[in-house]
């Protein structure tokens, strides 16, 4: 049938306006995986129409015994097709068939015609995290077609990972929710970008892995390190959870020292606090090294902060922001006083 002409209508003598069902599907769900109400409507419909002959759902609908006509009816055509109590299902395209829905809205608003029952029926839904599939697809295309992105390496991107992490921390400390959402996206981009590069296995002597391998690895780790959630152990306090985590991690890593695995490249105050935390958690009594200079004084202050439950890096950043504001006030910068 031609998609724009030759549309067969019901006899004009019928008066029951019938029913129109707009069936929507998600491209993020495998074709053919439709809800039970959707299959019921499809099997009971008098006619099933779709304007897109290449719609990914069509082969599965036809395999299930549903006859689908390739047609693009106008709103008036659809009213005629439904007359007499008939049910017509429209399998919508990715754009949602706006011309048809706008036409139906105009007819309904005119008050001159008796409209059929209109129903929007989602046949498949996006599960939580479904938009991550879009991100993976976009990253694939950018990696292939963008002159800059296609040349990036893990080492070349490393500095951006650090920058984005700091910007995320700043958004958290500033309490800016919009900025937080954006910075989380930027951090997520770094993960997907590195995984996309790793998938190519282009670095000599390295085995390729994909974003699915990354996700599978962290899922396995989380399940293994939360036996109180996924296993038979119990934990009623955050301290119990931390004990489970550290005990499981120690078995996994088989480290010789509590300092193993602490990244030495992190900022100095954070490094000192992390080492102090490891020592405290292990129940060790290790005196601080003695020496002259500001470095040893800062070390002592960072250890004291960790002992008191204070993040020395966050505390210093807060003080630095206060200093920045004071400088702006001293400079007479417009709006600086309001920021204080």
Say if residues 306 and 277 touch (Cβ distance below 8 Å).
yes
Q: In this structure, how many other beta carbons lie within 10 angstroms of the beta carbon of residue 146?
A: 11
- What pLDDT, on the 0 to 100 scale, is given for residue 39? 96
* pLDDT tens sequence across 217-267: 999 999 988 888 998 888 888 888 877 777 777 777 777 888 888 888 888
Residue 123 has pLDDT above 90, yes or no: yes
Predicted local distance difference test score (pLDDT) of residue 246: 74
* Residue 234: predicted pLDDT: 87
Helix (H, G, I), strand (E, B) or coil at 43: helix
Higher-confidence position of 204 and 302: 302
Task: Categorize the per-residue pLDDT at 14 as very low, low, confident or very high, splitting at 50, 70 and 90.
Answer: very low
CA 282 – CA 27 distance, rounded (Å): 51
pLDDT band with cut points at 50, 70 and 90 for residue 9: low
Question: Region 125-139: what's the mean pLDDT?
Answer: 92
What pLDDT, on the 0 to 100 scale, is given for residue 89? 96
- 297-323 pLDDT, tens digit each: 999 999 999 999 999 999 999 999 999
- Per-residue pLDDT tens for 143-197? 999 999 999 999 999 999 999 999 999 999 889 999 999 999 999 999 999 999 9
The yes-or-no verdict on residue 2 having pLDDT over 90 is: no
Reply yes or no on whether the pLDDT at 286 is more than 80: yes
**Selection from 261, 231, 232 nearest residue 246 by Cα:** 261
User: What CA–CA distance (Å, rounded) separates 161 from 66?
Assistant: 51
Within 13 Å, how many C-alpha atoms sit on residue 39's CB side?
12
In 3D space, the residue among 82, 85, 62 whose CA is nearest the CA of residue 74 turns out to be 82
φ, ψ of residue 102 to 5 degrees: the values are -65, -40
Report phi then psi at 253, rounded to 5.
-85, -25
Q: What is the mean pLDDT of residues 124-140?
A: 92
Task: Quickly count: other Cβ atoms within 10 Å of residue 89's Cβ.
Answer: 26
Residue 283 confidence (pLDDT) above 50: yes
Find out whether 105 and 37 touch, Cβ atoms under 8 Å.
no
Task: Enter the tokens of residue 86.
Answer: 């008939």
**Mean pLDDT score, 132-150:** 95
Mean pLDDT of the chain: 89
Using DSSP, state whether 47 is helix, strand or coil: strand
């Amino acid at each position: 049938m031609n998609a724009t002409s030759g549309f067969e209508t019901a006899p004009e003598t019928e008066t029951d306006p019938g029913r129109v069902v707009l069936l929507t599907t998600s491209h993020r769900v495998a074709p053919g995986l439709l809800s039970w109400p959707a299959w019921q409507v499809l099997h009971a419909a008098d006619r099933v129409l779709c304007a897109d002959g290449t719609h990914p759902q069509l082969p599965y609908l036809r395999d299930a015994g549903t006859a689908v006509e390739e047609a693009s009816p106008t709103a008036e055509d659809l009213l005629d097709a439904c007359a007499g109590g008939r049910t017509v299902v429209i399998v919508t395209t990715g754009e949602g068939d706006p011309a048809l829905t706008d036409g139906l809205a105009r007819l309904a608003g005119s008050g001159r015609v008796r409209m059929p029952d209109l129903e929007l029926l989602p046949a498949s839904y996006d599960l939580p995290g479904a938009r991550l599939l879009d991100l993976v697809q976009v990253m694939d295309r950018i990696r292939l077609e963008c002159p800059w992105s296609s040349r990036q390496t893990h080492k070349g991107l490393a500095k951006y990972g650090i920058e984005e992490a700091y910007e995320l921390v700043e958004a958290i400390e500033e309490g800016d929710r919009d900025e937080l959402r954006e910075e989380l996206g930027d951090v997520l981009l770094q993960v997907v970008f590195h995984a996309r590069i790793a998938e190519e296995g282009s670095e000599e002597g390295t085995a390729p892995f994909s974003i699915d391998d990354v996700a599978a690895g962290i899922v396995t780790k989380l399940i293994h390190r939360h036996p109180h959630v996924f296993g038979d152990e119990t934990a009623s306090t955050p301290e119990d959870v931390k004990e489970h985590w550290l005990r499981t991690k120690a078995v996994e890593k088989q480290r010789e020292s509590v300092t193993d695995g602490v990244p030495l490249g992190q900022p100095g105050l954070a490094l000192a606090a992390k080492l102090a935390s490891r020592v405290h958690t292990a129940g060790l009594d290790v005196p601080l090294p003695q020496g002259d200079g500001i470095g040893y004084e800062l070390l002592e202050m960072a250890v004291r902060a960790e002992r008191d439950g204070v993040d020395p890096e966050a505390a210093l950043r807060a003080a630095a922001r206060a200093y920045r504001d004071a400088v702006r006030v001293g400079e007479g910068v417009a709006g600086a006083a309001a920021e204080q």
